[in-house]
Amino acid sequence: MKRIAILGMPNTGKSTFFNRITGASSRTGNWPGVTVDLLGSKVLIGSSMVEIVDLPGIYDLHGFSEDEQVVRHFLENNSVDAVLIILNASQIERQLSLVLQIKQLGLPAMLLLNMADEAKKFGITVDAEKMADLLDLPVQLMSAKYGKGYKEARSLLERMLNESSPLRLEDLQAKLSQYDRLESEMEHVLKSTVQVPVQLSDNLTTRLDSLLLHPWLGLPLFFFVMYLTFQAIFLFGKPLQDGVAWLLDAFRHAALEPLLSALPAFAKGLLLDGIYNGLGTVATFVPIIILFFLFMAIIEDTGYLSRAAFLMDALMSRLGLDGRSFVMLLMGFGCNVPALMGTRVMRTKSLRFLTMLVIPFSLCSARLQVFIFITAAIFSQKAAPLVLFSLYLFSFAASLLTAILFKRQYKNIEPFILEVPPYRFPTLRQMLLRGWHEVRHFLNRASKFIVAGVVLVWLLTHFPAGEPPASPHTLAGMIGSLFSPLLDPIGINQQLAVALIFGFVAKEIVIGSLAVIYGIGGSGLMALMAHQLDWVEAYSFMLFTLIYTPCLSTVATLKSESKSSRFMALSLAWSLGLAWLVSFVFYQGARALGY
């Protein structure tokens, strides 16, 4: 099977093109010589099945960041039939050097000048045919976002695959070990093919940045935008959530209960009160999770998050971090794991370690499910967005406090360079793909952690046999009693304690485990939680869930990325201790004030 590597600088649309050509049928896998997982997919191009691998965005083949080393190691250890180089057509004068480096290696290559529509708006024209002659490789102008030029690029790729043969790894390794100076050749190609106006015309990006990057208004506007996002999520998501809950409840009464009525009580209870209630309660929040990521896709793909990093850099630098660290924190809102892996772009070990120490405090999508459930059950629809927004502020506060306390131990001396893209509104296709990726991620976890978790919780709450479910004499009750001296001072009861223990495996299990512990799901569970917990206990529980030890996947990534068991232990101990302290201060303070 032939293999194609997609290569280019960050923010050039590599992922957009990869999703378009593969149809989002990607998978993660490891390759010889590479210690990290890369995205890959098998697709049919012409009459041949081809494996396409999306490599990390890099600026230079002979740089020193981990991402650049990953690309080098991949090329050195894996046979590649073609390299697709994707550049930003409006920034080609800064990116062409990468093309010349690939060309010098002798790899069969094709150049895609993406975002050609933006370059045209700036008055930049590129003579693709002449550039192809000068570089001696196929060149195609395109817009991966809108699909313009995509068919032509695919045809060129098919032709190149039929005509080219892979370079011997021995020859490639020899060429990678030595580079000649490329500046003169690059200058000749640019002067001959690219025309850039002396001054780019004023556009929407310039006008928006005058407001959104304002030194005084920029940050308040950013947090106001995030607040409006949460309001919109609850406004549109709550009716969808109620509709899914109604459908699941109706399906249980109309179909499942009659179908399983002949089973023994033990099996019926496990299937209905255990697995179905647990998974069903989690599933009711899928519409809100999808909405959250659709809105976040808009904020991220428009280029606004890059500007937030720029605005935060002055503050982050005082904490020993930089704007990239803030971007990783924002990425952690989706999942802490890719955010931790994203720190590879940082060259200094100290900056990477300090950033990895603060990322687990990001309010990830798994925690979001728990908080949406608790806020919807305990707080009014008017107060719920404010409560959720306050948890995001606590997330930032925990990260900033951690950076302040540990910045001397992990001192940062690396300069910060950030490329701010023009504003772009994502297409409907991009937003739907983003939502589908998150749903698929949820379903994958549901088939592993969540099912196993709710089954184990059900067994713990129903053994020994003959005891009332989840009573103090069951295994779950004994576990809850064991932790009572530690958790009672922060307002967390025995049932919630059991849910927290399983939340260490995966935060998605927390809601399902509560449904199993209380023996009821959906709106019934929400009503029961509202009856058993007051707002102080609920908020203390959410604070602890926000800050305490991350899931096992995050812990494993901390260990693999830092290559240090000691650093992983430090992260776990610090987050657990801080979670207890913050919850204790809040809970005892609120009770002292009479709440």
Q: Does 55 have pLDDT greater than 80?
A: yes
- According to DSSP, the β-strands at 27-29 and 2-8 are unpaired
Of residues 345 and 236, the one with the higher pLDDT is 236
Q: What is the reported pLDDT for 86?
A: 93
Alpha carbons 490 and 585: distance in angstroms, whole number: 8
| Highest mean pLDDT (candidates 57-66, 223-232, 580-589) | 580-589
Q: What is the reported pLDDT for 270?
A: 81
Q: What is the reported pLDDT for 177?
A: 62
| pLDDT-wise least confident of 213-222, 258-267, 503-512 | 503-512
Tens of pLDDT, residue by residue over 18-37, are 888 887 555 555 555 555 56
Tens of pLDDT, residue by residue over 401-437, are 999 999 989 887 666 666 677 777 777 777 777 667 7
Alpha carbons 592 and 343: distance in angstroms, whole number: 42
Q: What is the reported pLDDT for 180?
A: 47
Q: Which domains does the chain have, with CATH numbers?
A: 2-195 (3.40.50.300), 220-592 (no CATH)
Q: How confident is the model at residue 238 (pLDDT cuts 50, 70, 90)?
A: confident
Q: How confident is the model at residue 111 (pLDDT cuts 50, 70, 90)?
A: very high
**Averaged pLDDT of the chain:** 82
C-alpha separations of 116 from 66, 144, 331, 396, 464 in Å: 30, 9, 27, 37, 68
Tens of pLDDT, residue by residue over 255-285, are 988 888 888 887 888 888 777 877 776 677 6
Alpha carbons 227 and 268: distance in angstroms, whole number: 44
Compute the average pLDDT of residues 289-308.
76
Residue in this structure with the two tokens 């099912």, named with its chain if needed = 451
Alpha carbons 5 and 156: distance in angstroms, whole number: 15
Q: Does 573 have pLDDT greater than 90?
A: yes
Q: Does 309 have pLDDT greater than 70?
A: yes
Q: What is the reported pLDDT for 495?
A: 84
Q: What is the reported pLDDT for 244?
A: 86
Compute the average pLDDT of residues 130-146.
90
Q: What is the reported pLDDT for 130?
A: 92
Q: How confident is the model at residue 579 (pLDDT cuts 50, 70, 90)?
A: very high
Q: How confident is the model at residue 537 (pLDDT cuts 50, 70, 90)?
A: very high
Compute the average pLDDT of residues 548-557.
82
Q: What is the reported pLDDT for 36?
A: 59
Q: What is the reported pLDDT for 442?
A: 59
Q: Which residues contact 104 (CB under 8 A, 6 or more apart)?
A: 175, 179, 180, 182
Of residues 301 and 574, the one with the higher pLDDT is 574
Q: Does 448 have pLDDT greater than 70?
A: no
Of residues 234 and 63, the one with the higher pLDDT is 234
Q: What is the reported pLDDT for 12?
A: 86
Of residues 575 and 430, the one with the higher pLDDT is 575
| pLDDT-wise least confident of 62-66, 235-239, 400-404, 565-569 | 62-66
Q: Give the H or E element holding residue 277.
A: helix 277-283
> What stretches of 55-181 adopt beta strand conformation (E)?
82-88, 109-114, 125-126, 139-141
**What is the tally of helices (H) and strands (E) in the chain?**
29, 9
Compute the average pLDDT of residues 547-554.
84
pTM score, two decimals? Answer: 0.64
Q: What is the reported pLDDT for 467?
A: 78
Residue in this structure with the two tokens 């917990």, named with its chain if needed = 533
Q: Which residues contact 237 (CB under 8 A, 6 or more apart)?
A: 287, 288, 291, 292, 372
Compute the average pLDDT of residues 499-509.
78
| Highest mean pLDDT (candidates 131-145, 288-302, 331-345, 573-587) | 573-587
C-alpha separations of 90 from 53, 86, 119, 384 in Å: 25, 12, 4, 43
Q: Give the H or E element holding residue 397.
A: helix 384-406
Q: What is the reported pLDDT for 291?
A: 79
Alpha carbons 187 and 97: distance in angstroms, whole number: 9
Q: Which residues contact 438 (CB under 8 A, 6 or more apart)?
A: 289, 290, 293, 334, 365
Residue 86 phi, psi dihedral angles, 5° rounding: -115, 120
Tens of pLDDT, residue by residue over 330-387, are 777 767 876 787 787 676 788 889 999 999 999 887 788 889 889 988 998 888 889 9
Q: What is the reported pLDDT for 373?
A: 87
Q: Which two tokens stand for residue 568?
A: 């992983």
Q: Which residues contact 425 (CB under 8 A, 6 or more apart)?
A: 298, 301, 302
